[in-house]
A and B are shown apart, each in its own frame.
Chain A
Amino acid sequence: MSAMVNEKTVTCIICPAGCRIRVSMQGGEIASIKGNLCKRGENYAKDEVTHPTRVLTTTVRLEDGRLLPVKTARPIPKALLFDAVKELSNVVVKVPVKIGQVVYSNVAGTGVDVVATRSWK
């Protein structure tokens, strides 16, 4: 029985080389990783293909109408970025806010906190 062979290309962002790394997938498993100049690229490509994550940065409203820049305290799955933004569009935060303060918990069910990236008086 032959499983589907599927190739994905990932551009590495670990260093300025920007290797175009080709990852072959066979039946949901990584079959080969090619085109990377170093080991770090291999790990990056593996993560990108199996469970890509990103730190989300966006804004939420303060109760007085101003905007508060925020970020997820840790990277969240890339596939949940839009859900997270949507959820955060309903969040209203009380003033004053301190940088690093948690303004929302468990965004998009990820278990990750959303924190303020500036203080507002």
Chain B
Amino acid sequence: MKFTKQTKRDLYTCVMVILFYVVIQVLDKAGVLSFHIKGLLVPLCYYSIAAVALNLVVGILGDLSLGHAGFMCVGAFSASLFSVAVKESGMPAGLRFLTALIIGTLMAALFGFLIGIPVLRLNGDYLAIVTLAFGEIIKNFLAAVYLGYDEEGLHVAFKSFQLKGEGKMLINGAMGIQGTPTDSTFTISIVILLLALFAIQNLVNSRAGRAIMAIRDNRIAAEAVGINITKYKMLAFTVSAAIAGTAGVLFSHNTSTLTASSTYFGYNVSILILVYVVLGGIGNIRGSIIATAILYILPELLRGLNSYRMLIYSIVLIVIMLINWAPAAIAFRERYGIRAFIGRKRENSGKEVS
């Protein structure tokens, strides 16, 4: 069997993830990993998944979304709601978590689709700010809603209320959802990361993926050769939202308390994921995973650096953008034949066609 260069590159990415998993398992068996480090593994996976999902929109589709934390929030809440509701019904834990994952992913996909309809008509800055707005609306809405059931049925309100007789509060306003079963394990998270990688790499290398990249490089030219802009933009955005939703499910099933607070689902989280994507290389799927791993684990290991961590991130973010995108820097690189520092390979895409 012969592989193309791209397939090989994709396989290396998967092998890299599997190797990472094996190394961690070996270290765990040897008893080297502290409890603290083990607690970081699942978050590392869901942030990687979110970063890969965001890279599909930012790198492959070429639109900036600042609302991916909102899709994580949708996935997290819908899946947690399901898990809490069926917790006492005797459903086997494996099946319950699988269903929760599917529900979270589908709900996020649905929201991605619905939000995509208006959002994808916009361009550039407007698109970024509207996705941010949607993310904040989702978060604020879920932080304000109360949902519970009792003898009289299901109640939804924006004020705290009393349940009559037998019943349970499912979403308790700003207190969120309590008692989500902690089903997320490192193994499951790695499997889902691999699945997400598989889905995205296949999409990117397909006919649809090439259409999406054509839209990114020149929307008008793509339209002229008959590519259905709306369809492919929606496809990329919905898939990205769905995968971000899966990351959200892993998030919500990692701890038993889930609240829609700014710390977890605010636009700052979307920006943090964007930092992972940009530092890993816009459009470079493998880079997103590596950047997330380094940026997430390293500061936790170097506790002393922690107060400087975000400062360093921000400086690195600015410097990388300047080196990679400034016309003067591009001209300098072209003259001396230096490859872009980090980022997708741009064959002539930086040049204006005149």
Do A and B interact?
A: no
Residues of A in contact with B (beta carbons under 8 Å apart): none
- B residues apposed to A, CB below 8 Å: none
